[in-house]
Amino acid sequence: MDLVQYTMIVFDGYTYAARRERELLPEVAKLKTQGVVPKVVAILFQEDQGSQLYTRLKSEAATRLGIEYQVQSFSLRTPVSEIAEAVKAANADPLVTGIIIQKPWRQTWVQVSSPNHHDGDQAGAFKAWWHELVSLIDPAKDVDGLHPSTLELLAANAWSATGKVLPATCLAVWEILEESKQLSPEKQIVIIGKSDLLGLPLYYWLRHHNYKVELWGKAELAARRESGQLLQDKDIVISATGQPGLITGDLLKPGVTLVDVGEPRADIDRASLSETVAFLTPVPGGVGPVTVSCLMANAVTLASQKLTTR
């Protein structure tokens, strides 16, 4: 039997994001002629280097598009009550059309604000802290889909006509999958990583669009390794665990589509991949630039909705 030959397509996120920005420019210009200037307030935690980088990239994209991007910087030691006042002020400001809280790495949060927590308490404490913060955001200004109600609506398949936007990373992966031309109802999809910014919302989104999708943590992947089944039955693998090199070529079936959402280093060990991979998003230069452009698209969407509430 002849083996099928694949030419691996390496997705260019920078080119895609630039095209996305060109499409947004006339939309921003039109809003301004109607008296609406998209304005995003971003809450940044200064100790988190990754957050500083992502905030800079988002601010630069906003400047290119004519979107106001106001960064308010806090320490991870700042009391939640003080951050809450800033969020509430942005909620109340009629000129602010979007609010984002840049999520820090949990490890950074632990090191700076809760170094005395026991290992078993750290995840729960961080989750509670984050939930308290994002619950403060006015859902009508939730530009990154962070408010818990977003996930609840997606889980219940009650998303239609809500006026909400998807988390930017979730929207980015969805757009990349569509762009890849690899999506089809019969394909088996797995998402590895159960975060509230990507894994969970994307799982609900794909499931409600009638795709065959599973959501795993690293434990489920480890069990697959133990059983010897690996990922040989998965046509599309989306990995967002933050564990460099977690996905290796020996786990995969020929013709697989790989979406790597690892940061700051790739989840997928590219050096181990064979020529039988059909599609790959690299790190850097894959999902990251598209996420920034999707956040800008969300900002435009929320600003547009302001016109309908006048």
Please give the structure tokens belonging to residue 164: 């909400």
Which of 25-29, 112-116, 181-185, 262-266 has the lowest average pLDDT?
112-116
41 or 162, higher pLDDT: 41
Which of 46-55, 146-155, 301-310 has the lowest average pLDDT?
301-310
Is 278 within 8 Å of 255 (Cβ atoms)?
A: yes
Q: How confident is the model at residue 123 (pLDDT cuts 50, 70, 90)?
A: confident
* Choices 3.20.20.10, 3.40.50.720, 3.30.70.260, 3.40.50.800: CATH for 167-289: 3.40.50.720
Say if strands 188-192 and 98-101 run parallel, antiparallel, or are unpaired: unpaired
Say if strands 279-280 and 257-260 run parallel, antiparallel, or are unpaired: parallel
- At residue 192, the pLDDT reads 97
Do the domains at 34-137 and 167-289 have one common CATH topology? yes
Beta-bridged to residue 33, according to DSSP, are: none
Contacts of 18 (CB under 8 A, 6+ apart): none
Q: How confident is the model at residue 159 (pLDDT cuts 50, 70, 90)?
A: confident
Say if strands 39-45 and 98-101 run parallel, antiparallel, or are unpaired: parallel
Mean pLDDT, the chain, whole residue set? 93
- At residue 2, the pLDDT reads 46
* pTM of the complete model: 0.94
- At residue 120, the pLDDT reads 59
Q: How confident is the model at residue 124 (pLDDT cuts 50, 70, 90)?
A: confident
| pLDDT higher than threshold 80 for residue 4 | no
d(C-alpha 252, C-alpha 239), whole Å:
13
List, as one string, the DSSP characters of 227-287.
HT-TBTT-SEEEE-S--TT-B-GGGB-TT-EEEE--SSS-SB-GGG--TT--EE--TTTSH
Q: How confident is the model at residue 1 (pLDDT cuts 50, 70, 90)?
A: very low
Average pLDDT score over residue span 145-162: 91
Is 257 within 8 Å of 234 (Cβ atoms)?
A: no
d(C-alpha 278, C-alpha 282), whole Å:
13
Domains of the chain, by residue range, sit at 34-137, 167-289
CA 299 to chain centre: 15
| pLDDT higher than threshold 60 for residue 190 | yes
Q: How confident is the model at residue 116 (pLDDT cuts 50, 70, 90)?
A: low
| pLDDT higher than threshold 80 for residue 87 | yes
d(C-alpha 91, C-alpha 99), whole Å:
8
Which of 128, 127, 126, 148 has its CA nearest to residue 137?
148
Distances 7 to 34, 270, 276 between C-alpha atoms, Å: 47, 15, 7
pLDDT by residue (tens digit) across 27-70? 999 999 999 999 999 999 999 999 999 999 999 999 999 999 99
d(C-alpha 291, C-alpha 67), whole Å:
16
CA 127 to chain centre: 17
The count of other CB atoms within 10 Å of the CB of residue 128 is: 10
Average pLDDT score over residue span 113-138: 83
pLDDT by residue (tens digit) across 198-244? 999 999 999 999 999 999 998 899 999 999 989 999 999 999 998 99
- Class of 34-137 in CATH: alpha beta
